[in-house]
Amino acid sequence: ELKKFDGQIEFKNVWFSYIEGEWILKDVSFKVNPNETVAFVGATGSGKTTILQLIVRNYDIQKGQILIDGIDIKTIKRSSLRKFVGQMLQDVFLFSGTIRDNITLGDPDITDEDIKRASNYVGLDYILNKLPEGLDHVVKERGNNFSSGERQLISFARAVVYNPSLMILDEATANIDSETETIIQESLNKMMNISTMLIVAHRLSTIQHSDRIIVMSKGEIVESGKHQEL
């Protein structure tokens, strides 16, 4: 069980396939230090999103090791990982229930104070303030009564409610209004100073703000360095 977590993450000779015989990641190794921001770039299908999925154990690897602060994530329960790794992946998952339910995912230890702090941090309070029921406002199946930008903000609040030392995110540029995009971008810039960030990056500005860029091709790391060096 992880007690305190600095946010260091390491892939050691990781091999992974979704379907037997089709390697999607081939001998991937890298190490990211606490508070570092790393952008993953590369052609579509090169394995960038897969790397993020593996960090939260949505799938288990076939060979190698993934270590968080030196601890093999195989030994950490997925429910514990959620407290240390904030995630914003492409498919925002919202279910029918209140906004509160959608942020706590049923964890009774998360207080309304925690939620308010997270909402304020990511700019969701701006939406909550417009809703008479606030956190009790009902989210319909798949969040259909919210815009995709609002859904992103709810999932962002969910991601930061535990003050994660590590954030993983898939930069979704599609379907977000520019106002929400600005709000999200500002929060991410703030987070870059206090958390380790692994980003599947599509925007040039994200790439420029990263400490390091890892270039993927066909399941392998082909280059790594600062923006100016590549």
The yes or no reply on residue 44 touching ligand ATP (CB under 6 A) is: yes
CB atoms within 10 A of CB 128: 19
Place of tokens 């303030």: 129
Tell the smallest beta-carbon distance from residue 19 to ligand ATP (Å): 6
- Residue 227 corresponds to which tokens in the numbers above? 């923006």
Residues 6+ positions from 60 with CB-CB distance below 8 Å: 54, 74
In the chain, what is the straight-line distance between the N-terminal and C-terminal CA atoms, in Å?
Answer: 39
Interface map 181-220 toward ligand ATP (x if CB under 6 A): -------------------x--------------------
Q: How far is Cα 117 from Cα 120, in angstroms, rounded to an integer?
A: 5
**Cβ-based nearer residue to ligand ATP, 7 or 42:** 42
Q: How many of the chain's residues bind ligand ATP (CB under 6 A)?
A: 12
Of the pair 50, 196, the CB lying nearest ligand ATP is at 50
Within positions 167 to 186, which residues make up the interface with ligand ATP, using CB under 6 A?
A: none
Q: Is 60 exposed, middle or buried (0-12, 13-18, 19+ CB in 10 A)?
A: exposed
One of 37, 48, 128, 221 touching ligand ATP (CB under 6 A):
48
- Binder of ligand ATP out of 33, 49, 80, 96 (CB under 6 A): 49
Q: Which residues bind ligand ATP (CB under 6 A)?
A: 18-19, 24, 42, 44-50, 200
